[in-house]
Chain A
Amino acid sequence: MLFDINPSAAVPIYRQIIDQVRRMVAGGLLKPGDELPSVRSVAAQHAVNPMTVSKAYSLLEAEGLAMRQRGVGMVIAQRQPVRELPDRLELLRPSLQAAAQHARQLEIPMRDALALFKNELEGDKQ
């Protein structure tokens, strides 16, 4: 399994790793029991600081998404954490921040941006 890391992105490397694992778990590409590559191998492959990879893995562990298994390393947890609404809102925040940035760049009035988001939300229900 390979992470896609862009060190020159405006998003910290540890966050890029966390977001990818979250998305891959949500999308079923990573299943409970699947191993994550070792800190060493990720750091060596991308020539990044091992502490950065460690930090991402520790946060994934704290979140309950992954767990440390003796002799194996990090694996995707069997039971994915039941997320309370505030946690789930936090997961949504990064994509909304990006959307807000785009809206500002395009100078879209807030009313229209909100209407569009509402429309998208309702569209999903149908």
Chain B
Amino acid sequence: MTMTQPQLIPPLAAMSDDPVLLEDVTLAYGDIIALNNASLRLPTGSVVGLAGSNGAGKSSLIRCLLGLTLPQSGRIRLLGEDPRELSDAARARLGYVPQTPELIEWMKVDQHLDYIGAFYPDWDAARVADWCAKWDLPPRQKVAGLSLGQKQKLSLLLALGHAPQLLVLDEPVASFDPLMRREFMRTLFDETPDRTVLISSHLLSDLERVISHLVLMKNGRVLLVDEWDALNENLRRVVSPIRLPSGPGVLAQHTGSEDTTAVIDTRQFPLSDLPSGARQVMAMNLDELFVELMS
């Protein structure tokens, strides 16, 4: 599999009030490069799916964005501010669900919610109580005794209770059953207009329902950023008897013994430019696109 230069298609024109901005961020742990000049800009109101194989850099990107990890180089703006010196006002507009719930184990559920809620002027205790009831989260139970799924629910409520404008979720639904995952996705759009959501997940069929934009990461780089509808309509998998000329519009190609399988972007590589004998021009869902670009 050869990969052409990573394509960075800015989703929208640069706006100073974009809630998420990373430019040329590089993060290494010794010899291991977690982020390699990764750049990303998310417009307000976008719901962005962050996908990539394990080790592609998804969690590193999120941790750098939130100021939890300090990269070696690059520029980062979170809600217009330096993430390591975030003002209280910006903090009040941010919700984060970490990959592993970070909870205070000895507290009871309702105690924990009240404790975190006290930090936020806009905390909606009544709504949080409603969610607890709806999601079967027992308020009087000790956090230590909760199942992993229940801990994830609690972690989600702690991030949602103040109706944040920017919600960052790192694999938030891994322990949820399909019904709860649907319920969770409905909650994303609950009464907070123009909320920006960045959600990293391996559950691509879940992402397909809700995302406006897709970000694909590979080897610490941002490989692809675009509106998901546009990708769905313009990316095609083709089988060609000869290799395609590499260049813009050819995202990946793999040559086997008989022929070449490629992923093209028909906005830059029109179907009419395909060599004669090319066949199986197929649209792809997110699962199929992931397999073609990541394997």
Residues of A within 8 A of B (CB): 7-15, 43-44, 46-52, 55, 100-101, 104-105, 107
Q: Which residues of B contact A49 (CB under 8 A)?
A: 47, 189, 209-212
Q: With A104-B280, A104-B281 known to touch, is A51 a contact of B212 (CB < 8 Å)?
A: yes
Within the assembled complex, what's the spacing in Å between the Cα atoms of A105 and B283?
Answer: 13
What is the predominant secondary structure among interface residues of chain B facing chain A?
helix
Binding site for A on B (CB under 8 A): 45, 47, 182-183, 185-186, 189, 205, 208-212, 228-229, 232-233, 279-288
For B287, what are the chain A residues with a Cβ–Cβ distance below 8 Å?
8
Contact B209 A47 (CB under 8 A): yes
Chain A residues whose C-beta falls within 8 Å of the C-beta of B228 in the assembled complex: 12
Min CB–CB distance B75 → chain A (angstroms): 29
In the bound complex, residues from chain B placing their C-beta under 8 Å from that of A48 are 185, 209-210
30 of the cross-chain contacts (CB-CB < 8 Å) are: A7-B209, A8-B205, A8-B285, A10-B288, A11-B232, A11-B283, A12-B228, A13-B208, A13-B209, A15-B229, A15-B233, A43-B186, A44-B186, A46-B209, A47-B182, A47-B185, A47-B186, A47-B209, A48-B185, A49-B47, A49-B209, A49-B211, A50-B189, A52-B229, A55-B229, A101-B281, A104-B281, A105-B279, A105-B280, A107-B279
Task: Select one of A10, A46, A105 contacting B232, CB under 8 A.
Answer: A10
Q: Determine how close the nearest CB of chain A comes to the CB of B140; give it in whole angstroms.
A: 30
A55 to B233, CA, bound (A): 15
Q: Name the prevailing secondary structure of the A interface residues.
A: helix
6 A-B pairs closest in CB distance: A10-B283, A12-B229, A47-B182, A47-B185, A7-B209, A7-B208
**B-chain residues with CB within 8 Å of residue A12 when the two chains form the complex:** 228-229, 232-233
CB contacts (< 8 Å) of A46 on chain B: these are 209
Our pick among A7, A10, A11, A14 for the contact of B282 (Cβ within 8 Å) is A10
Q: Which residues of B contact A7 (CB under 8 A)?
A: 205, 208-209
Contacting residues, chain B, for A10 (C-beta < 8 A) = 232, 282-285, 288
CB distance from A106 to the nearest CB of B (A): 10
Q: Which residues of A contact B182 (CB under 8 A)?
A: 47
Separation in Å of the B286 CB from the closest CB of chain A? 8
Please give 6 more A-B residue pairs, beta carbons under 8 A apart, in addition to A50-B189, A52-B229. A12-B233, A15-B233, A43-B189, A47-B185, A104-B281, A107-B279
